[in-house]
A = this chain, B = another copy of it.
Amino acid sequence: MAVTLDAPRFKHKVAVIGSGNWGTTVAKLVAENTREHPDLFEEDVQMWVFEENVVIASDSPHYDPAVGDAPQKLTSVINTHHENVKYLPKIRLPSNVVANPSLLDTVKDTSILIFNLPHEFIGSVCKQIRGHILPSARGISCIKGVTVTEDKVELICDYISETLGIYCGALSGANIANEIANELWCETTIAYNTPPCDRRTEIGAAATNGGQDQQHRDSRGAVSKVQLTPLSRDYPPIDHAELRKLFDRPYFTVSMVSDVVGVSLAGALKNIVALACGFIEGHGWNMTAKTAVMRRGMLETIQFCQEFFPETIQEMTFWESAGWSDMIVSCTSARNWRCSKLAVERGVSVYEVERTELNGQKLQGISTTKEVMSFLRGRGVENKYPLFKAVEGIVDGTFKVENIPVLFRH
């Protein structure tokens, strides 16, 4: 039933939850776009900042002799000087990025929530804001990774979706925050499977039906437990075109896809492959050997997705920036790769490198490897994933790097 829509009364209010290096970068580019599209978005973008005190160095252009070395609140420094001096220094933020120390105030009346904070904080944040957000809000998670236990694989965006009762997509790609903050061109992938109740032809109908969307096939293709509240027709619809307007910049090209599972899993499993590539290069093999391992790693990634999420996976997803491009960058310059390479070069375990090089931080690749292998073992299919299994073996000291080529023999 096609219904002529009334003109929306409200614009979307956008908030970024998180203000690290990547969160601040995304706040910057989104705020540039809310200014360019005043028909769709409110200009101000709230950015939730976990408040802390900072001291402005005397050689900083933001140094104020009247304040001197006295600690200042990070939010007020950001709102005064339009720079996140702690997590994204030397990058001028648009003045419509508004640092907000209150999580609940940040999300109040917000219709588009962008989650961009470390994996380990997402549980606590979701619990705090549950019941305090618009029921028809929509989310985009910029957090890579999935939670894998022996029992199940849970996507971050599904966790957000189920905890908050809203639909949530994912942004992932071959992206390095500092480069994007400096407006060096790259591209990214946004996976968003527009809920049926939000589709343009449906909004009016659903709204006149007055109710909640009865069932939505969520990103996993299963019928979700989440009862979605349709987008109010007081707001412009949100689909691929609007999301592109919110995220795409001349220096940040967005491709839209619908396969949230593929994008999320590619972003997580590539960390296992990055460890493998570091081992390979640490052992003295070159680019040709590394590409062989990347290729096998990508094939095991696709196999994993197809084995456990057969309903929704689209093979073309792996051709996106969130697929091959992110794999290549992660296996060439990222932390998992660097640490595993160092481990082999030094003849120590990757745990030892984690301890000595990461200031107490943990290597994502190790926990992903462990979790994924435990999940596969729980299903008795670990031998179908020889590269993933070998990475676990190398991490644990039960498999030798020099035997990786043997995995590929016929």
CA distance A405 to B332 in the complex (A): 22
* B405 and A292 form a contact (CB under 8 A): no
Query: How many angstroms from the CA of A262 to the CA of B186 in the assembled complex?
Result: 28
A410 to B248, CA, bound (A): 9
- A70: which B residues are within 8 A, CB to CB? none
A263-271, A282-290, A341-349, A352-360 - the one binding chain B: A282-290
Q: Does A58 contact B (CB under 8 A)?
A: no
Q: How far is the CA of A176 from the CA of B290 in the complex (A)?
A: 13
* A288-B324 CB under 8 A given contacts A405-B253, A409-B253: no
A interface, size bucket:
35 or more
User: Which residues of chain B come closer than 8 Å to A320, judged between CB atoms?
Assistant: 295
* Contact between B244 and A410, CB atoms less than 8 A apart: yes
Bound complex: CA A384 to CA B288 (Å):
31
Main secondary structure on A side of the interface with B? helix
- List A residues 307-361 near B (Cβ within 8 Å): 315, 319-321, 324-326, 328-329, 332-333
Q: Which listed residue (B179, B291, B324) contacts A329, Cβ 8 A?
A: B291
Q: Across the interface, which residues of B come within 8 angstroms of A408, CB to CB?
A: 187, 253
Contacts of A409 in B (CB 8 A): 248, 250, 253
Give this chain's copy count. Answer: 2
A174 within 8 A of B: yes
Kindly list chain B residues whose C-beta atoms are within 8 Å of the C-beta of A295. 187, 319-321, 324-325
Q: Are A288 and B325 in contact (CB under 8 A)?
A: yes
CB distance from A160 to the nearest CB of B (A): 26
Among A210-267, those with CB < 8 Å from B are 244, 248, 250-251, 253
A319 & B299 in contact (Cβ 8 Å cutoff):
yes
Q: Which residue of B lies closest to A328 (CB)?
A: B291
- Asked if B185 contacts A285 (CB within 8 A), the reply is yes
8 contacts between A and B (CB under 8 A): A174-B287, A184-B289, A287-B332, A288-B329, A294-B324, A295-B320, A299-B319, A315-B315
